[in-house]
């Protein structure tokens, strides 16, 4: 089986690294048992970056391994140790790579050496408890989780970037011309469609150095996909100028250079978008006696049509110098009009991810759905096994105004609230306006607002509090029985809404 060496379209799955988790830790040393929180932050995950590298001319690497993943960030540790930043994964792509999403929408057109696109952003690292400490919350018993990195399916399509494109019928001598003008050594043979993929040659004429693309031969119907047609026409889209290579020595009955030109021009105009490109005509193979006769016959006609025509021979080199200098002239003029593309950096973020405070609340059949960059990010950062972390989440949401909006829209206590996208939402029971804050904090990792929902914990505390006032002969078990109340804890019983204590979230990086 032939192994492809030139690939100009690939699908690629990219997954950035996840951020490391922050850690909750308390500094301990001799004579200083509670030295304050010292849990470090998680490091960010590696991003995936596409970078234009002029030495890369094909997408073949991605054809062979179409899945790319960047490293995860390191987790934080005690003693204020932050997790390692994961290295970004840089994927080299050819100049002229068009990036599309899975649906075929163009995301970016990467041209110019060094142009970069962050196609998948690494997840942020979670904050450790040292960074989350505030004047009221001196020793948070929780840390934030690292966020997952972006993951997406993309398509890469190469549109060769060359200054000049050679177009013409198969066997007209396009590859022979590029071989005669440059150091490129494309395959040349006397059968049609020798060239299956574009070849690039670098040509120097006088002061100007430019690139020439030799694309597979065109035939009538190419714009509708006949021959290798359509697939390769896009490789001449970016050329500043076109050179028609016309075969003066073809043995095929019914063909002559002027008609060949009309057929190719017709295909180009049906493909569209190339009308404004200046053209030169090369009448090739004049070393063949019949070829020179034919050339002499048609050259005046073509010139009368206002075309710039060069009789040449790729085989003998005759006329080649004039042709290459004319090509250099067109290129120099085109460059003077349009400055070279400078390297740029494009960062791809979903439209919602603009760092804004915007969020939406909609009532759905399942409950109240909250969408927004921050609420959704905060959900991902929350360790739901830690009540204090969930309390922190509640306060962040509240501070953003999520609770107020829910109340305003008529959300009632006990209603279901879903935060996040439909496939992956976190479900809450709505419980507005609970007054709490740092003053009410209990042990590390606990939040008293959950006592009602966490009966074992609440009950233990209630019993503890009732003990001093118990009757003379009442045992602890008696108190427990006396205080027993029906269980209210259910799997969906997180609380949205909380205090309005601004200090609570004073170190919130997002607030």
Ligand X SMILES: Nc1nc2c(ncn2[C@@H]2O[C@H](COP(=O)(O)OP(=O)(O)OP(=O)(O)O)[C@@H](O)[C@H]2O)c(=O)[nH]1
Using CB distances below 5 to 8 A depending on partner kind, what does residue 314 bind out of Mg ion, ligand X, none?
ligand X
**Does 381 engage in binding with ligand X (CB under 6 A)?**
no
- Give the whole-angstrom CA distance, residue 214 versus residue 346: 30
Was 171 annotated as part of a binding site? Answer: yes
Q: Cβ of residue 284: shortest distance to Mg ion, in angstroms? A: 12
- Give the whole-angstrom CA distance, residue 337 versus residue 38: 60
**Does 318 engage in binding with ligand X (CB under 6 A)?**
no
Was 196 annotated as part of a binding site? Answer: yes
Whether 110 and 117 have beta carbons less than 8 Å apart is answered as: yes
Was 287 annotated as part of a binding site? Answer: yes
Q: Cβ of residue 305: shortest distance to ligand X, in angstroms? A: 23
Using CB distances below 5 to 8 A depending on partner kind, what does residue 176 bind out of ligand X, Mg ion, none?
ligand X
Which two three-digit tokens encode residue 148?
């997952």
Nearest CB to Mg ion, comparing residues 194 and 223: 194
Was 313 annotated as part of a binding site? Answer: yes
Long-range contacts at 202-205 (CB < 8 A, ≥ 24 apart) = 203/324, 203/327, 203/328, 205/321, 205/324, 205/325, 205/327, 205/328
Which two three-digit tokens encode residue 102?
């899975």
Which letter does DSSP use for residue 131 in this model? H
**Does 256 engage in binding with ligand X (CB under 6 A)?**
no
**Does 199 engage in binding with ligand X (CB under 6 A)?**
no
**Does 322 engage in binding with ligand X (CB under 6 A)?**
no
Q: Cβ of residue 156: shortest distance to Mg ion, in angstroms? A: 25
Nearest CB to ligand X, comparing residues 174 and 277: 174
Q: List the x/- string, 117-156, binding to ligand X by CB under 6 A.
A: ----------------------------------------
Residue with tokens 């009602």: 452
β-strand 67-69 against 151-158: which pairing, if any?
unpaired
Residue with tokens 């050594």: 185
Was 314 annotated as part of a binding site? Answer: yes
- Give the whole-angstrom CA distance, residue 504 versus residue 133: 9
Nearest CB to ligand X, comparing residues 313 and 394: 313
# residues contacting ligand X (CB under 6 A): 24
Helices vs. strands in the chain: H and E counts, helices first: 12, 20
Was 437 annotated as part of a binding site? Answer: no
Contacts of 414 (CB under 8 A, 6+ apart): 429, 430, 431
- Give the whole-angstrom CA distance, residue 469 versus residue 447: 25
**Does 216 engage in binding with ligand X (CB under 6 A)?**
yes
**Does 189 engage in binding with ligand X (CB under 6 A)?**
yes
Was 173 annotated as part of a binding site? Answer: yes
Q: Tell me which residues touch Mg ion (CB under 5 A).
A: 175, 194-195
Was 214 annotated as part of a binding site? Answer: yes
Q: Within 10 A of 497 (CB to CB), how many other CB atoms are there?
A: 24
Residue 283, φ and ψ in degrees, nearest 5:
-90, 105
Q: Cβ of residue 273: shortest distance to Mg ion, in angstroms? A: 23
Using CB distances below 5 to 8 A depending on partner kind, what does residue 456 bind out of ligand X, Mg ion, none?
none
Binding residues for Mg(2+), as ranges, are: 175, 195
List interacting residues with ligand X (CB under 6 A). 168, 170-176, 188-190, 192-195, 216-217, 284-285, 287-288, 313-315
């Amino acid at each position: 089986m032939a192994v492809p060496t030139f690939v100009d379209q690939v699908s690629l799955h990219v997954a950035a690294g996840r951020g490391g988790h922050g850690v909750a830790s308390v500094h301990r040393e001799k004579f200083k048992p509670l030295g304050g929180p010292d849990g470090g932050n998680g490091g960010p995950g590696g991003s995936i970056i596409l970078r234009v590298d002029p030495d890369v001319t094909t997408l073949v690497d991605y054809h062979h391994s179409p899945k790319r993943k960047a490293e995860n960030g390191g987790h934080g540790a005690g003693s204020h140790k932050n997790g390692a930043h994961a290295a970004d994964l840089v994927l080299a792509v050819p100049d002229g790579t068009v990036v599309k999403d899975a649906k075929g929408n163009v995301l970016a057109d990467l041209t110019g050496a060094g142009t970069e696109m962050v196609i998948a952003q690494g997840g942020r690292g979670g904050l450790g408890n040292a960074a989350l400490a505030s004047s009221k919350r001196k020793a948070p018993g929780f840390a934030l989780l690292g966020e997952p990195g972006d993951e997406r399916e993309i398509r890469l399509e190469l549109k060769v970037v060359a200054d000049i494109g050679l177009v013409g019928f198969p066997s007209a001598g396009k590859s022979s011309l590029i071989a005669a003008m440059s150091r490129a050594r494309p395959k040349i043979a006397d059968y049609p469609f020798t060239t299956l993929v574009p070849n690039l040659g670098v040509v120097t004429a006088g002061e100007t150095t430019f690139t020439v693309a030799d694309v597979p031969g065109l035939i009538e119907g190419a714009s509708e996909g006949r021959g290798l047609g359509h697939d390769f026409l896009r490789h001449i889209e970016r050329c500043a100028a076109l050179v028609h290579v016309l075969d003066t020595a073809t043995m095929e009955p019914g063909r002559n250079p002027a008609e060949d030109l009309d057929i190719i021009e017709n295909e180009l105009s049906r493909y569209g978008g190339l009308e404004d490109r200046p053209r030169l005509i090369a009448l090739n193979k004049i070393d063949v006696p019949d070829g020179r006769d034919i050339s002499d016959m048609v050259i005046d006609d073509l010139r009368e049509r206002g075309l710039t025509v060069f009789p040449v021979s790729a085989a003998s080199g005759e006329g080649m110098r004039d042709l290459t200098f004319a090509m250099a002239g067109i290129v120099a003029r085109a460059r003077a009009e349009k400055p070279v593309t400078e390297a740029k950096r494009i960062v791809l973020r979903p439209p919602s991810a603009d760092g804004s405070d915007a969020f939406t609340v909609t009532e759905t059949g399942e409950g109240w759905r909250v969408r927004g960059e921050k609420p959704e990010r905060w959900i991902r950062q929350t360790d739901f096994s830690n009540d204090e972390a969930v309390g922190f989440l509640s306060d962040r949401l509240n501070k953003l105004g999520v609770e107020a909006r829910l109340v305003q829209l008529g959300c009632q206590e006990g209603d279901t609230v879903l935060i996040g996208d439909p496939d992956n939402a976190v479900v809450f029971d709505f419980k507005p306006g609970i007054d709490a804050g740092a003053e009410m904090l209990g042990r590390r990792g606990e939040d008293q607002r959950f006592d009602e929902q966490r009966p074992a914990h609440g009950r233990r505390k209630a019993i503890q509090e009732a003990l001093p006032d118990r009757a003379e002969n009442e045992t602890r078990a008696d108190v427990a029985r006396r205080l027993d109340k029906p269980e209210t804890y259910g799997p969906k019983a997180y609380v949205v809404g909380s205090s309005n204590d601004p200090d609570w979230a004073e170190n919130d990086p997002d607030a």
